[in-house]
Amino acid sequence: MDRAVAQPRGPAGPAPAPAQPARRLIRPQTEAVTPPDATRDSERRPLALVTGATGYIGGRLVPELLAAGFGVRAMARHPERLDGRPWRPEAEVVAADAQDPDQLRAALDGVDVAYYLIHALGSGPRFEASDRRTARVFATAARESGVGRVVYLGGLHPETDDLSPHLESRTEVGEILLASGVPTAVLQAAVIIGSGSASFEMMRYLTERLPAMVAPRWLDNRIQPIAVRDVLRYLVGAARLPAEVSRTFDIGGPDVLTYRQMMQRYAAVAGLPARVIRTLPVLTPRLASLWVGLVTPVPSGLARPLVESLIHEVVVKEDDLRRYVPDPPEGLLGFDASVELALQRVREFEVSTSWSSAGTAGAPSDPLPEDPDWAGGSLYVDERETVVDASPADLWRVIEGIGGAHGWYSWELGWVARGLMDRLFGGPGLRRGRRHPHELAVGDALDWWRVERIDEGRLLRLRAEMRLPGLAWLELVTDRDDAGRTVFRQRAIYHPHGLLGQVYWWGVLPFHGLVFGGMQRNIAAAAREAAHEAAGGRR
């Protein structure tokens, strides 16, 4: 049964910011908050709040803190996205928006150390204003809640007034937190090497896909990369700094390399021939980021601030944090060993978090309303169902394996063309792939979709993060009819924004038979084939 219908819908100040602090402040403030150890029960585990817990660093920091003996409260706007994390039963999870003072104060209540891992990187031309506003709200809430320490992971940068917007914003956020009156440790890192980090994935795909390339001349600027393992160790250690320590710390690995050298050494570790790299003085960060967006899974909106940061030499100027957080017995992890470890994680499908773990900037973040009379306009629905000659379990295996290398069981040319268009407009396209070839969890990125809900064996709901003038979801459901037969139900849901959203829906409607109809037929056929193969194996 195929039908596309429109369902009509019924009709449906922030506080003033404090003055901007002085630049590059590193001294502690005289009105620092009393450390919690002096007033709280010393027998209990110290409590750490991790903001950005759905992100790359935050998702990896939580289990490290738990292992170090901390109680952990993980904060997320949509806590359901943390349900599939292995550490979820051991941590307290709270829902809070970092720009809502009341929600923040509730999340910070009783907290000893708060990790600020929030940024609006790649969210558009106004990301600096968003970062500034959020940092000020957080700084005020941390002070009012009596938090003992704030730890922030910022960006390593040279001492110059001509920083890239990304590094300038990271620096400003650190200064706002340092001026909060709460003892603060601002850790400043350059390129982080680890499976799933945006910087690593950008370098990885550029090196693997381009045996020869033309690059900007600042590819020869010096960089001091650091392994994600060592970043996490420093973050955990910073929680136990003396209360009088409130300042910035540079952190970096043992190697200082140019980006050209990093790519060549990556190629050597990965078993690839040496790359041919030529530099040009006229390749701007904007052009370079567009090229990165086309060649790698990292969308151009995220690639641009990363590329712009490479115009600076970023080498640590001091290593004072090592006095408080000593090196491990084996020493800091070098670049080659970091790459080898990251590639091993990729090959073994053990990438616990990635740059795509957090929602795509500018993509819809609200879940699908359960109320069919969702107020505010029209909701368009394309519904299809097919009786499948297979068990629900056979059908579910196909559904759970959709996307990535398995594709979308549909009009391939149409999906590729739409994915390329999405990349050109700064969206994720199809190159994000899957975290694991066979398993999905709530919050996983899946090409240009995000897994919003899974009812194991029955329902997979995906939320679109592609660039389009509206909100969209795709539901794939296994069911049984009254006769006990397996039924595959498929529902595409679209909520248009304005006239352009209406035009988009009616413009793509003629292709629904190819896209969604083909998907319906081919998934059902794949389930039948899997069932027959399984039956043959049992005979």
Shared domain for 127 and 273, answered yes or no, is yes
- Residue 315: which CATH number? 3.40.50.720
Residue 266 domain flag = yes
Q: Are 294 and 206 in contact (CB under 8 A)?
A: no
* pLDDT score at 283: 66
Other CB atoms within 10 Å distance of the CB of residue 260? 15
Shared domain for 159 and 237, answered yes or no, is yes
Higher pLDDT, 108 or 342: 108
Residue 411 domain flag = yes
Range of the domain at 298: 47-345
How many percent of the chain have pLDDT more than 70?
Answer: 80
Q: Are 508 and 496 in contact (CB under 8 A)?
A: no
Higher pLDDT, 333 or 438: 333
Mean pLDDT, range 458-470, rounded to an integer: 88
Higher pLDDT, 175 or 511: 175
pLDDT band at 144 (very low <50, low <70, confident <90, very high): very high
pLDDT at 90 over 60: yes
pLDDT band at 285 (very low <50, low <70, confident <90, very high): low
Residue with tokens 């973040």: 365
Interval 335-369: pLDDT, tens: 999 999 888 887 766 665 654 555 444 444 455 55
Q: Are 351 and 195 in contact (CB under 8 A)?
A: yes
pLDDT band at 269 (very low <50, low <70, confident <90, very high): very high
Q: How many domains does the chain have?
A: 2
Mean pLDDT, range 275-295, rounded to an integer: 75
- Identity of residue 240: R
How many percent of the chain have pLDDT more than 90?
Answer: 42
Shared domain for 68 and 199, answered yes or no, is yes
Shared domain for 322 and 197, answered yes or no, is yes
Task: Give the chain's mean pLDDT.
Answer: 81
How far is Cα 170 from Cα 219, in angstroms, rounded to an integer? 22
* pLDDT score at 522: 93
Decide which of 302, 325, 345 is a domain's last residue. Answer: 345
Residue 194 domain flag = yes
Shared domain for 403 and 335, answered yes or no, is no
Interval 225-252: pLDDT, tens: 999 999 999 999 999 999 999 999 999 9
Shared domain for 121 and 64, answered yes or no, is yes
DSSP category for residue 314:
B
pLDDT band at 48 (very low <50, low <70, confident <90, very high): very high
**What are phi and psi for residue 471, nearest 5 degrees?**
-115, 145
Higher pLDDT, 198 or 120: 198
- Alpha-helical runs (H) found in 326-376: 335-347
Does pTM top 0.75 for this prediction?
Answer: no
Residue 168 domain flag = yes
Residue 40 domain flag = no
Q: Of 175-184, 192-201, 307-316, where does the model show the most confidence?
A: 175-184
**CA geometry: angle at 82 spanning 77 and 86, to 5°?**
155
Shared domain for 163 and 276, answered yes or no, is yes
* pLDDT score at 537: 56
Shared domain for 96 and 245, answered yes or no, is yes
pLDDT at 376 over 80: no
Shared domain for 191 and 338, answered yes or no, is yes
Q: Of 289-293, 324-328, 514-518, where does the model show the most confidence?
A: 324-328
Residue 30 domain flag = no
* pLDDT score at 322: 93
Shared domain for 52 and 195, answered yes or no, is yes
pLDDT band at 2 (very low <50, low <70, confident <90, very high): very low
pLDDT at 278 over 80: yes
Q: Is 280 exposed, middle or buried (0-12, 13-18, 19+ CB in 10 A)?
A: exposed
* pLDDT score at 427: 72
* pLDDT score at 266: 92
Shared domain for 303 and 415, answered yes or no, is no
Chain center to CA of 102: 25
Residue 2 domain flag = no
Lookup: tokens for 199: 């910087």
How far is Cα 106 from Cα 70, in angstroms, rounded to an integer? 19
* pLDDT score at 25: 35
Shared domain for 327 and 435, answered yes or no, is no
pLDDT band at 407 (very low <50, low <70, confident <90, very high): confident
Name the E strands within 459-537.
459-464, 470-480, 486-496
Higher pLDDT, 13 or 481: 481
Residue 393 domain flag = yes
Mean pLDDT, range 177-185, rounded to an integer: 96
